[in-house]
Amino acid sequence: MKILVTGSSGRIGSIVAGQLRESGDWVRGFDLRPGSAPLDDFVQGDLATPAAIEAALDGIEAVAHLGALMSWHPRDEAAMFESNLRGTYNLARAAAARGIGRFVFASSGEVYPELDPQFLPIDETHPTRPTSAYGMTKLLGEEAVRSFGRRGLKFSILRFAHTQAASELLDPTSFFSGPRFYVNAKLRQLRGLPDSPNVAKSIAALEAVATADEQHYIGCDPSGAPYRMCMCDARDLARGVGLGLHHPAAEGETFNIGPPRSFAFDEAVPYLAGKTGLAVRRVNLFTASYRYETSIGKASRLLGYAPVFDFFGMVDDAAARR
């Protein structure tokens, strides 16, 4: 099948493109910037520009739409709206007009209120109430895709869990894992946020344990309860995208795609420290705390989605490849 992967230079899109090619698909990438993914063809362009999208869709049979801006900083909200909502509208509209065979939309677990869920595990029946501007753009993107679905677009919506390459876990400078597991990286992130009493209290809590040498921290809520979350290996997620593109039961459906199980930070961080050799501190933070778990039961039942890596498997894999 001839597939367009948008966001093909990104951490997930590059792996999706590689896996699709390995399983015999022809892949054209589309991104703002060139990347290192193995591709059959590449169109450089902006999702906000309809002419670039027309060029990218020429001869294409299915689309994996992963191109998006991810940010939690207020200064990026307008740009996110352009890329994530206007871009999705432009692409879905053009794909519908061409009768594209399958349109997979990369949505996010952030369409749920992950910071304050009504029940656990969060499955696809959970109310969607995003609490971030990013989550809002993903939910509106879903609605744009469903709307074109009512006008003939064959779509599948995949709500990705938090996803990264396993190697990022060992890298204090990495975009996701740095601030999540490393003291000084978290301090740098918080100092870049707009001032608020909760940001100031969190900075103070981290400064109380910080040293020049990097350390890990076990993130806890203000009461001292350790965070819990779901983290998906990009290779597992890419297999989920492949199912969204190819599996007949994916059509018209919405699925959570994530790891086999969640993890608690008081178990996970000491395990990570066993590979990095860094000290571990326990820190109560006052910014967004999370204690959630997401169900992948629907994707497992209907699509045979079977992720391989949990958090501990990702750490083992990253350490073995270091």
Residues that bind ligand NAD (CB under 6 A): 7, 9-13, 31-33, 46-48, 66-70, 83, 87, 106, 108, 160, 162-163
Residue number, nearest CB to ligand NAD: 10
Residue 232, SS3?
Answer: strand
Nearer to ligand NAD, 13 or 226 (CB): 13
CB burial class (10 A; 0-12, 13-18, 19+) of residue 150?
A: exposed
User: Least distance (Å) from ligand NAD to the CB of residue 69?
Assistant: 5
Nearer to ligand NAD, 11 or 291 (CB): 11
Nearer to ligand NAD, 40 or 76 (CB): 76
Confirm if 192 and 157 have CB atoms less than 8 A apart.
Answer: no
User: Least distance (Å) from ligand NAD to the CB of residue 83?
Assistant: 4
Nearer to ligand NAD, 32 or 278 (CB): 32
User: Least distance (Å) from ligand NAD to the CB of residue 59?
Assistant: 19
User: Least distance (Å) from ligand NAD to the CB of residue 253?
Assistant: 17
Measure the CA–CA gap between 190 and 176, rounded to whole angstroms. 13
User: Least distance (Å) from ligand NAD to the CB of residue 202?
Assistant: 22
Q: Which of 128, 108, 103, 104 is nearest to 116 (CA)?
A: 128
Confirm if 127 and 118 have CB atoms less than 8 A apart.
Answer: yes
Nearer to ligand NAD, 82 or 286 (CB): 82
| Sign of the C-alpha dihedral computed for residues 162, 230, 200 and 134 taken in this order | positive
- What is the CB neighbour count within 10 angstroms for residue 196? 11
Nearer to ligand NAD, 9 or 19 (CB): 9
- DSSP type of residue 134: H
| Sign of the C-alpha dihedral computed for residues 149, 108, 256 and 117 taken in this order | negative
Residue 103 phi, psi dihedral angles, 5° rounding? -125, 110
User: Least distance (Å) from ligand NAD to the CB of residue 267?
Assistant: 21
User: Least distance (Å) from ligand NAD to the CB of residue 213?
Assistant: 28
Q: Which of 162, 187, 163, 185 is nearest to 172 (CA)?
A: 185
Nearer to ligand NAD, 13 or 18 (CB): 13
